[in-house]
Chains A and B, each alone.
Chain A
């Protein structure tokens, strides 16, 4: 994409009167206000027409490993085969062979047990017996199930355990209810990261999250529709901060207002412009 380096945006709500203008020269306005903010260091963004918001991109990282692709399955099979071919016999395998040889010797008629070298107690417990005992012990352990199936709906954080999920919230912005990442308006005197932490605290679920650094990972700006535009606030700029959920939290959240969503499911929830910006920093690795 050889587009010039300018964030081309569209207003969040298409105003029906048709003034959804694509102002490419948006930057100029912010430039003229820039010298105000440059001179007043104490009161930040005094002249800027944008209201600042801090948002948190809370991720639940995967809990189990992903299933393998067909190519990956085939390759892992090949690797195991090759490693087996190139290896030496282990102690256990040698013991198995010896036991098999001894058994075959026992079957013969001219078997004399005195000819055997000292085997100690190996005759009592053969390697095969040991293997069977180990199998039995393994069967006694019942691990948890890998996949919960489709029983869980979107608001549970124990959905797809093999993928990383992002928390979305249904908030009313203006007059409409829109799905977004949890965001809160910035107050003077705090850093944007503290705003994001506040946004996290406002959620009804008590989650412990680690914020990954002080810097925002992405931003999104939108203009308010004409009727809401007050003096001094043309629109809003939202800065996103990434956070990773520490402990698995099983508190149930309201179905219609919260969602834990994979990256490819984001398009079902978010508006296209918002999605475009958010997709840049949410990784499906």
Chain B
């Protein structure tokens, strides 16, 4: 009887489907006749076997994805390039080669002699500096010894560390002295340094 009802409803629906936009419930293939037992949709389909297997399968999928991610992450991060160590392509440009005039014999001689004179001068300067520093250290050492002879307390206070000294800042010498009450012009600049992230 159910089959007969289904075919009848199909015939009816084929005739009336074009005229009525709203298809009644009965004409839909999901719903059989009223007489058939009232069953919800999924019950008619195959019974669900995947209730236990599904979560396990999903877990397996997740683990596989995680393993793949770990494999990818194991790759060491790309090193940040040190821009100072990379010679730019500009340096290898052939159009930039400077024409060097050939040096005469006298010029090369003069240069060699000047370099030797300079090394002697610098050596004597270095010796003098080292001697001065040594002298100052010796003077300090003797002063501390005398202080120790005088009093132990003062000596201990003297050799203790000075916490207020560091960080020590001092403006070094420039070519010209600072202009008093000078207003420096606004120094706007566009910072184009490249910042790398790993």
Contacts and interface: CB of A to CB of B under 8 A. Distances in A.
Interface of A: 7, 30, 34, 37-38, 41, 44-45, 48, 50, 52, 61-65, 71, 74-75, 78, 82, 84-85, 87-89, 94, 143-146, 161-162, 191-193, 210-219, 221, 237, 239-240, 244, 246, 277, 280-281, 283-285
Contact of B91 (A44, A88, A162): A88
B170 A280 contact: no
Contact of A217 (B139, B150, B175): B139
B31 to A, nearest CB: 77
Contacts, number: 145
A192 B176 contact: no
A218 B143 contact: yes
Given A64-B177, A144-B179, A45 B151 contact: yes
Interface string B129-151: 10011011011101110110111
B42 interface: no
Which of under 10, 10 to 19, 20 to 34, or 35 or more describes the interface residues of B? 35 or more
A280 B146 contact: no
Contacts of B97: 88-89
Interface in B152-178: 152-154, 157-162, 165, 168, 170, 173-178
Contacts of A52: 150, 154
Contacts of A34: 149
B74 to A, nearest CB: 44
B64 interface: no
B144 A215 contact: yes
B111 interface: yes
A218 B95 contact: no
B34 interface: no
A265 B177 CA distance: 23
B158 A65 contact: no
Interface stretch (B16-24, B54-62, B65-73, B114-122): B114-122
B150 A210 contact: no
Contact of B114 (A63, A74, A285): A74
B148 to A, nearest CB: 10
A18 to B, nearest CB: 28
B151 A37 contact: yes
A75 B149 CA distance: 51
B152 A64 contact: no
Contact of A191 (B114, B139, B157): B157
Contacts of B179: 143-144
B144 A146 contact: no
Contact of B174 (A38, A64, A211, A283): A64
Given A214-B157, A277-B139, A283-B132, 10 more contacts: A37-B151, A85-B98, A88-B97, A143-B179, A144-B176, A144-B178, A191-B157, A215-B159, A217-B140, A281-B139
Contact of A240 (B143, B173, B177): B143
Given A48-B151, A217-B143, A281-B140, A85 B100 contact: yes
Contact of A75 (B114, B154, B176): B114
Given A71-B117, A285-B132, A219 B173 contact: no
